[in-house]
Chain A
Amino acid sequence: MKKLPTLFVSLGLFTLAGCGSTPSPSSAHYIDPNGQRGIVNVGKINYQDFDSAAHNLVQSLINTNVIRTKADGKPALLSISRIINETDQQFDTDSLVSNIRIQLLQTGKIQTITTFGLGDVQDPLAKQVADKNAFVANSSSATPVPDYTLTGKILMDKTSAGDVKQSAYTFYMTLTDVSTGTGVWEDKAPIVKQGTQSSIGF
């Protein structure tokens, strides 16, 4: 019986200490950008969704092992083609594409062309320098030709049942071998979110 107060004190201390030291959501604080504490919105693509979709697509691409390096062992050249956003949300498709580029570059199998692309090139200064060098050297082409192109589409489907809302975002990607003009890899990364209110965490 005498042990009872000690037990309550221990329990109180445990409660005060808590199992974690997560700050109150109301006060501004940093979170792990790769972790599980980000805000999740049902009707919106969140930061972590782009990360997750890009990661899953890159995993699918490297698991199929379709990318062939050049004959001299150098990495194949990739250029980003059109990425279509068919959702009701406005965002820069680079949120997805830059994640994919970063991870593919790390594999050592691919290098991306930054001086060639649809519309504005990624690095206009590098293109200007390459053009100037080609002109000085009296060379016909300053732009490297890609071995592969990456194209994609982001689709959305929203539905609800009573108070529960559901949003499905599907990220489609296709890799085309430019030498044959055929799609050598294609996959999708679906993200489905369901709930009645926004929350923190997956």
Chain B
Amino acid sequence: MNKFISLFCAGALALTVVGCATVNTIEPADQRTHPNLVPDKRIITNSHLNSIAYASQVTESKIGDLLHVQVMLQNMTVAARNVDYRFQWYDGAGMAVGTPVEHTAFLEGGQTIPIGETATSPQAVTWQLTLAESVAQSPDLNNGAPVRSGR
């Protein structure tokens, strides 16, 4: 019994330290979208990162002659986390096109958000998404160091 109480207290303490901010989501039950799903290849070197920003769906579309990609990121943990990401675009010969800009995505626990980018050059035919845990996390984990927010 004592062991159970200790375990419970330890679990509760861990949750308090990590912070718990999960979301509830609601959406239409019927399928109204017909996304162009793209099979992807993944290189996972950080399984923890994969659980806080799991790419659950990859879709592509065209805006004029520019390629657009959208990735649904799902936070499968109960803690709110920040994730940095960047898209690098490549032309048909596999050469890098343009300069990638790094962004920060803010994911509440259990939340799924879309991240995406449109190629700025019509020469871009493919892309690579790089994800990394943010150096600065939410305020309670960051000892008051600045937290940056954008879109």
Q: Is the CB of A41 within 8 A of B146?
A: yes
Q: Is the CB of B121 within 8 A of A107?
A: yes
> Within residues 89 to 145 of chain B, which ones have a CB less than 8 A from any CB in chain A?
98-104, 117-118, 120-122, 132, 134-136, 139, 142, 144-145
Q: Is the CB of A37 within 8 A of B135?
A: yes
CB distance from B137 to the nearest CB of A (A): 10
Given A36-B84, A202-B102, the answer on whether A56 and B136 have CB atoms closer than 8 Å is no
CB distance from B3 to the nearest CB of A (A): 25
1/0 per position for A39-55, CB-CB distance to B under 8 A? 01110000010011101
21 contacts between A and B (CB under 8 A): A34-B101, A52-B103, A59-B117, A62-B63, A62-B120, A63-B68, A63-B118, A65-B63, A106-B120, A107-B66, A107-B120, A189-B151, A190-B149, A191-B148, A193-B148, A194-B147, A194-B149, A195-B144, A197-B145, A200-B135, A202-B135
B39 contacts A by Cβ under 8 Å: no
CB distance from B120 to the nearest CB of A (A): 5
Given A107-B122, A191-B149, the answer on whether A201 and B139 have CB atoms closer than 8 Å is no
Q: How far does the alpha carbon of A56 sit from the alpha carbon of B104 in the complex, in Å?
A: 12
A163 contacts B by Cβ under 8 Å: yes
Of A109, A197, A202, the residue contacting B134 (CB under 8 A) is A202
Q: Which residue on A lies nearest to B148, using beta carbons? A: A202
Chain A interface size, as a band, is 35 or more
Query: A residues touching B (Cβ–Cβ < 8 Å)?
Result: 34-37, 40-42, 48, 51-53, 55-56, 58-59, 62-63, 65, 103-104, 106-109, 163-164, 189-202
Of B82, B117, B121, B139, the residue contacting A202 (CB under 8 A) is B82
Of B84, B86, B150, the residue contacting A191 (CB under 8 A) is B150
Q: Is the CB of A62 within 8 A of B135?
A: no
Residue of B66, B145, B146 ringed by the most chain A CB atoms within 10 A: B146
